[in-house]
Amino acid sequence: MFHHHFYGSEHIDRAVVQRRDETWINEQLRGEDTLFVPVWHGKVFVDRAEAEGDTQYRLSGRPDAPVPPDRRLKAVFLRSDETTPLLDGHRRAVLLGCSGKRTYFALDLSDMEDATKYRSLAGRGDFVGLRGVGPMLDRFDGGLLAYARGMLRWHQQNAYCGVCGSHTAMLEAGFIRRCIAAECSQQHFPRTDPAIIVLVTHENRALLGRQAKWDATWYSVLAGFVEPGESLEQAVRREVKEEAGISVGEVRYDSSQPWPFPSSLMIGFTAQALDDNIRIHDQELEDARWFTREDVDAGIEAGELRLSPSISISRHLIESWRMARGKETISMKKKA
- The distance of closest approach from Cβ of residue 163 to Zn ion in the complex, given in angstroms and rounded to an integer, is 4
Q: Which among 29, 27, 22 is positioned nearest to 106, based on CA atoms?
A: 29
In the chain, the amino acid numbered 270 is: T
What does the alpha-carbon distance between residue 91 and residue 201 come to, in Å, rounded to a whole number? 50
Minimum CB–partner distance for residue 154 and Zn ion (Å): 17
Closest approach, Cβ 95 to Zn ion, in A, equals 24
* Residue numbers at the binding site for Zn ion (CB under 5 A): 161, 163-164, 166, 179, 181, 184, 186
Residues 6+ apart with CB under 8 A from 22: none
3-state secondary structure of 40: strand
Q: Nearer to Zn ion by C-beta: 180 or 274?
A: 180
- Cβ proximity of 220 and 210 under 8 Å: yes
CA angle centred on 20, ends 29 and 77, rounded to 5°: 30
Nearer to Zn ion by C-beta: 55 or 185? 185
Q: Which is nearer to Zn ion, 98 or 184 (CB)?
A: 184
For residues 163 and 298, which CB has a smaller minimum distance to Zn ion in the complex? 163
Cis peptide before 190 (omega within 30 of 0): no
Q: What residues contact 293, with CB distance under 8 A and at least 6 apart?
A: 204, 321, 322, 325
Separation of alpha carbons 293 and 298, rounded Å: 9
- Element at 321 (helix H, strand E): helix 313-323
Decide whether 180 or 323 has the Cβ nearer to Zn ion: 180
Supply the minimum distance, in Å, between the C-beta of residue 155 and Zn ion: 16
Task: Count CB atoms within 10 A of the CB of residue 124.
Answer: 15
Round to whole Å and give the CA distance between 71 and 67.
6
Could you tell me the strand order of the sheet in which 187-188 lies? Answer: 168-171, 176-179, 187-188
Amino acid, res. 305: L
Count of residues in the chain: 336
CB of 168 to Zn ion, least distance (A): 7
CB of 158 to Zn ion, least distance (A): 11
Supply the minimum distance, in Å, between the C-beta of residue 167 and Zn ion.
Answer: 9
Pick 110 or 156: Cβ nearer Zn ion: 156
Distance in Å, CB of 165 to Zn ion, minimum: 7
SS3 61: coil
Closest to Zn ion by CB, 157 vs 329, is: 157
- Between 163 and 332, name the residue whose CB sits nearer to Zn ion: 163
